[in-house]
Structure 1
């Protein structure tokens, strides 16, 4: 195995992590370097993109495994993070764990295992299965955004919840609530919640939802109104001047629309409805947007304004948020609270198109530290609870110390009688 250049760092403090971002059009595989002393991801030393929509799933998985086989000859890979599109099996006690579920609109991917092949390759020359963590391609970025935000705000009040919303061909929602990613019957599918349309809007939602078993048939849902598929369909039905010069990408026409086109108001309204739902249902503290549609920069301010309008002052804290720079950019409205501006509450991801990959690396980091914690303490701690391990261990040590103090004090008092 080659000895990688560590830029003057102690090699004992650097480990290598494997990451897979499984997307509908491509799989991105990467190797990242982690500084174990600061829990900081240093950089990505290698990455590759493999098509997932133009070749059979078995070929995509095989090509990804071949990449990791070669990388394993260069680096001692210590943990794996997989962030994949869904619906995805996340119940470790169910036979569908690690597999794309049968309800996926990508029929050729139904039942495909997107975890085990990578574990087999990366664990081949190791005594045990490599530590790993699996989640959706929206829950993973939500966790990474949550972790990075809390690590960056210094002494200000940490948040306990965050939503990551990606808006592209579909709308996906990842959730961190009470400092844990949300799993349950499945995982969050917030793109399919119903919304209130703008007055006199005659477009009910994308036609895809009627034929593919989407909740509500895709009518009046976030995805049915705000996804690029829905926006294009709305445009085709309403704009007689619509012309598409890009036969390979019909949605490319959206890039040429002006910021004041009414289509963006409908999009922002649907996404603001989602922000309101998250605010009222789980009292979300920070909402981060990503995805191709959100590259239209005017959308963020439209969503912020519409969210406040729909809330109608009911959530006083949101209503009172200022409009200055966000805390991480040194906004002068920051005090002891980390969310002091509307730009802290609703914003876009600072890592842009790399949110999914950074999310997968964050999962790998979580798996690595969880595994080390279990080895050091002899305790089996669930991945979702791993951010609490330090508090748990500290509490246990404190309790033992208190018992010893009481015991010693009791003996001394007895001798003094």
Structure 2
């Protein structure tokens, strides 16, 4: 089978072709612009590829309720031109194939469960920590949607005692995203995170906040694996610090050896690297083809 995959990120789109074995056969990427030129490039890429289905994992928030007249639309986003845009409908006009449609982080969680760090498990939580923070949840063999879809990047967190930065989230100021996403690091310290040394106090503060989020995921969702991806997590020294902070918050309450002594195997980097979202979109496309 030839399945199309689209990882629609806030800064770039990645499109690819894959098969049912989880092989990515071809891919391209380009910057995320306004909807019309961006989806024009998507349509041009797939036009001659002969795909049998297309999976889409996209930045959001989005409408994922098939019963809603706004299904397939982007809802509220600061990205110019995208609010209320009929993303899925635009592509359906061009391609008469089944479509899978979900958030980029749900797609990444799905890809990791199918082929990556959570392969063989029936649950995982995937955090992407970059320009924003998103959380995808795979539980009991299904992606979690619920009322809309998980928005774990906007949970409240306890403030670090030395943190005077007010937070940058336009809705909540100092939610998890507002104090721990990439722009928070840059605005708090005056430089991008990639320019800070491993011993800079920024990373202890990051671990303090992300560790809380990991502990919350353990307590609320009880996933069998937690995966931390995104640009901020390219700082390799950060992951061990987060594990320690999560253990400190949990304080021995969750009596499972994976949490008590096995954090190195429980809270991990993506098994599929930087293109977990593209693999997830491929998995969404395969599932759509199967339903059809």
> Counterpart in 2 of 1:205?
167
Identify which of 207, 218, 229 aligns with 2:173: 218
* Runs of 4+, deviation exceeding 3 Å: 149-153, 318-322
Q: Contact 2:180 / 2:210 at 8 angstroms: preserved in 1?
A: yes
1:50–1:258 distance in 2 versus 1, CA, 3 Å = closer
- SS of 1:71's equivalent? coil
Q: Structure 1 residue 321: deviation in Å?
A: 4.0
Q: Structure 1 residue 277: deviation in Å?
A: 0.9
> Counterpart in 2 of 1:286?
225
Q: Structure 1 residue 44: deviation in Å?
A: 2.3
- SS of 2:137's equivalent? strand
1:85 aligns with 2:59: yes
> Counterpart in 1 of 2:204?
265
> Counterpart in 2 of 1:343?
264
Map 1:278-357 to 2 at 5 A.
278-317=217-256, 321-322=260-261, 341-357=262-278
Q: Structure 1 residue 121: deviation in Å?
A: 2.3
CA distance in 2, matches of 1:201, 1:269: 11
CA distance in 1, matches of 2:275, 2:152: 21
> Quick check: which has more Rg, 1 or 2?
1
CA distance in 2, matches of 1:80, 1:233: 38
Higher relative contact order (CA 8 A, sep 6+): 2
> Counterpart in 1 of 2:40?
62
- RMSD between superposed Cα atoms in Å: 1.8
Q: Structure 1 residue 150: deviation in Å?
A: 8.5
Q: Structure 1 residue 174: deviation in Å?
A: 0.4
Q: Structure 1 residue 147: deviation in Å?
A: 2.3
Spell out, residue by residue over 1:347-388, the C-alpha distance to the aligned partner (whole angstroms, 9 max, x if none): 0102221111111011111122233xxxxxxxxxxxxxxxxx
CA distance in 2, matches of 1:260, 1:162: 31
Q: Which runs of 5+ in 1 are unaligned?
A: 1-14, 35-39, 124-129, 154-158, 237-241, 243-250, 323-340, 372-417
CA distance in 1, matches of 2:221, 2:284: 23
> Counterpart in 1 of 2:49?
71
CA distance in 2, matches of 1:319, 1:197: 27
Spell out, residue by residue over 1:141-178, the C-alpha distance to the aligned partner (whole angstroms, 9 max, x if none): 1111122359855xxxxx33211100111001001122
1:274–1:150 distance in 2 versus 1, CA, 3 Å = closer
TM-score (norm 2): 0.94
Spell out, residue by residue over 1:311-359, the C-alpha distance to the aligned partner (whole angstroms, 9 max, x if none): 111112157643xxxxxxxxxxxxxxxxxx3122100102221111111
Q: Contact 1:278 / 1:284 at 8 angstroms: preserved in 2?
A: yes
> Counterpart in 2 of 1:146?
113
Identify which of 117, 138, 141 aligns with 1:179: 141
> Counterpart in 1 of 2:26?
46
Q: Which runs of 5+ in 2 are unaligned?
A: none
Identify which of 271, 283, 287 aligns with 1:362: 283
TM-score (norm 1): 0.67
Q: Contact 1:192 / 1:218 at 8 angstroms: preserved in 2?
A: no
> Counterpart in 2 of 1:277?
216
Q: Structure 1 residue 48: deviation in Å?
A: 2.0
